[in-house]
Structure 1
Amino acid sequence: MKKQEMSTQKTTADNFDAFIADMASLHMSSDVEFLVEGQRLPGHRQVLAKRSEYFRALLCGSMLESRQREVRLEVPLEPFKAILEYLYTGKLPLSSLDVDMLIDVRDLAHFYCLGYVETLITGYLQQKMSVSNVCAILNAAKRCDLEQSIEECQTFMDQNAYDVLKHDSFQMLTKQSIEEFLRRDFFNVPEVDIFRAVWKWSDKKSQGGHQDSGLARTSPPHEYR
């Protein structure tokens, strides 16, 4: 039974494509097309304007796009589909989206001033927070200046400092986050483990061309290897 449920579960992309097909079957003619990553997505100005202040200004205001049939958007395709589906249906299938996708959808919701969606995803990410994704969630929270989410991530990292330091995702933190992390309490994490993690982070940033890492660029002392 469980396998059957998993095999029949639709992704957001599948849901949106089915939704568009339903619109076509109802002969709902669109009056705008969004061009996103080379794909055309039909829309309806009045529907979107009613659901979002951003799209009201974009499609029905004095902006150039209000007079264009085709509107090109420099946004990621799948997260935009999820946002568009929400604007039409009021539904957002959180459980079918992975953490990276949820973060991308929340970033768009923040950009489009969809506070309810942003709050909904933030709460869901808090429930799903783990050692493997807390660094990604923290980076995203900082991009959107979500103070409560930032604090929750930092608290989780304090409580799971040893495992976070050991996990590969620690390498994705920004320099600012690393410095803030180092200023916090680590409970019983040995200093040698802290040093190794920060040195590995700095070494990876340097190899990637980030010359401003500014932390532990030299090789670790022999006793720390």
Structure 2
Amino acid sequence: MNLSVLEEALILILTRDTAFANELDIFRAVCRWIKKNQDELEPDAKTNILSAIRYQLMDDKELSEVNQSELVCSDAIILDIIKSRSEFVPNELDYRGRLEPNVNLAPRKFFKSGGGTMSMLDHPSNINYIEMKLICNVDSCALLFGDHKDSRLKEVPIKEGSATSVNVLLKYIYSGRVDLSTLESKVIVELLILSNVYRFSNLQFSLSEYLLSKIDEHNASSLFVVGLCYQIKELEIESLNFIDIHSLDVLQSEDSFSLTPEALLLILNRDMVYANDLDIFRAVCHWIKKKKDEIDAEAKTKILSAVRYQLMDDEELSEVRRSELVSLDSSILDVIKLSIESLPQEFKDQGRLEPNVNFAGDTPKEHFQIDGGTMIMLDHPSKINYIEMELSDKQAKYGSLINISNQRFNVILF
């Protein structure tokens, strides 16, 4: 038989996704074939054949053997191909898997896990479809048999999660259980997104509750963005409430870089976000510098314009004007000028909102006795909708005096 025909047949075999074997073993077999037929091969044949091997599927030890092999070490073209293949990003990998039509996987090796059954294949396989006879949890029915658009597709591309979170979701489909204690926070957030996209409502509720119980300055921004983007209202609202109280810690954390420009603007425009405005400005500048390649000039201007410069004193404003982001930007300088010249009634003060707080006993506030009365001094500006006092002596006369300023809020009872 003509050797060129054999060469073409060999390349056809090597390029098939269903030709499954260890890639290094394939390389060794190909090298033996080339050596045996080297006197009859065309000049480009060796390169064409060796190029069909998937070096990106090899580990470092296997690639080291390939680079040292007789056929490769002196061939610059093949060495370049190996180098470029080994640098592929994960989504460019071409995996191989055995194709076995109409195979019942149930008799294969399996074990019980968390109330479900997991089948273990002894080799990678291309699975075109899965047919199951099972009693599954309610969430799974919505995805596999309900009106979800993906229930009618043979292949479902999953872009919202990593391989780890998808694997956890698949275990949940079979067992209805997830062990969150063994998962990283990032994976749990991905799992929440997947549960929202594929309508696993019970799982979404449980994950939201769990994440909110673990909320801190290191994940509040990520949770707020997820709640906002995927319309998970409870997560969005509770994350915002946490950010209101811990705004500066949140904005200064690394997690703040997960905020989109729209999400950051929503936070800055809230009256309940309380922190020193110069500290907010510094945190915003740090965010803009970090995200400079992802935001345009208009977004930068909108974000810097949301800072409340009218609440700063002259020394703080002087630092703002000298800052790198402001000093050369006439539009921001104009915004600052207009803010400073605003009338007092146009000020948008910020204050912490704490519902149903007992200032006398629930929180460690400062109490002072003055002329037979009691003064309660709050340690931060707060929005007080009403004051309710419980009087011990109904026959006595009582009064109150409320002293309010930007720096202090005093309630004096007498």
Q: What's the counterpart of residue 17 of structure 1? A: none
Quick check: 1:63 aligned with 2:149?
Answer: no
Q: Any idea what the Cα deviations from partners look like across 1:168-199, whole Å, max 9, x if unmatched?
A: 22222111211111122233x21111111112
Q: What's the counterpart of residue 9 of structure 1? A: none
1:160 to 236, 239, 246: 246
Q: What's the counterpart of residue 321 of structure 2? A: 221
Q: In structure 1, how many angstroms separate the alpha carbons of the residues matched to 2:225 and 2:176?
A: 27
Q: In structure 2, how many angstroms separate the alpha carbons of the residues matched to 1:101 and 1:113?
A: 18
Q: What's the counterpart of residue 175 of structure 1? A: 261
Q: What's the counterpart of residue 141 of structure 2? A: 52
Q: In structure 1, how many angstroms separate the alpha carbons of the residues matched to 2:304 and 2:177?
A: 47
| Cα 1:24/1:52, change in 2 over 3 Å | same
| Cα 1:205/1:29, change in 2 over 3 Å | closer
* Cα contact 1:52–1:114 (8 A) shared by 2: no
Return the offset for 1:104: 0.6
Q: What's the counterpart of residue 74 of structure 1? A: 158
* Greater fraction of residues in helix: 1
Q: In structure 2, how many angstroms separate the alpha carbons of the residues matched to 1:39 and 1:167?
A: 43
Q: What's the counterpart of residue 285 of structure 2? A: 199
One-letter amino acid of the counterpart of residue 186, structure 1: V
One-letter amino acid of the counterpart of residue 141, structure 2: S
What secondary structure is seen at the aligned counterpart in 1 of 2:237?
helix
Larger radius of gyration: 2
* Cα contact 1:165–1:193 (8 A) shared by 2: no
Return the offset for 1:200: 1.7
**Structure 1 residues 14-163: aligned runs within 5 Å:** 24-25=108-109, 43-47=130-134, 51-57=140-146, 63-65=152-154, 71-75=155-159, 76-163=162-249
Q: CA RMSD in A?
A: 3.7
Q: What's the counterpart of residue 384 of structure 2? A: none
Q: In structure 1, how many angstroms separate the alpha carbons of the residues matched to 2:324 and 2:295?
A: 24
Q: Any idea what the Cα deviations from partners look like across 1:38-79, whole Å, max 9, x if unmatched?
A: 9869854343697322222599x99352xxxxx353343211
| Cα 1:222/1:178, change in 2 over 3 Å | same
One-letter amino acid of the counterpart of residue 45, structure 1: M
Q: In structure 2, how many angstroms separate the alpha carbons of the residues matched to 1:106 and 1:87?
A: 14
What secondary structure is seen at the aligned counterpart in 2 of 1:162?
helix
Q: In structure 1, how many angstroms separate the alpha carbons of the residues matched to 2:209 and 2:253?
A: 23
Identical counterparts, % of pairs: 18
Q: What's the counterpart of residue 12 of structure 1? A: none
1:210 to 282, 285, 295: 295
What secondary structure is seen at the aligned counterpart in 1 of 2:217?
coil
Q: Of the two structures, which has the highest relative contact order with CA contacts closer than 8 Å and spacing of 6 or more?
A: 1
* Cα contact 2:217–2:253 (8 A) shared by 1: yes
* Cα contact 1:138–1:149 (8 A) shared by 2: yes
TM-score (norm 2): 0.40
Return the offset for 1:135: 0.6
Name the count of aligned residue pairs.
190
Which stretches in structure 2 are left out of the alignment for 5+ residues? 1-104, 112-116, 306-318, 326-414
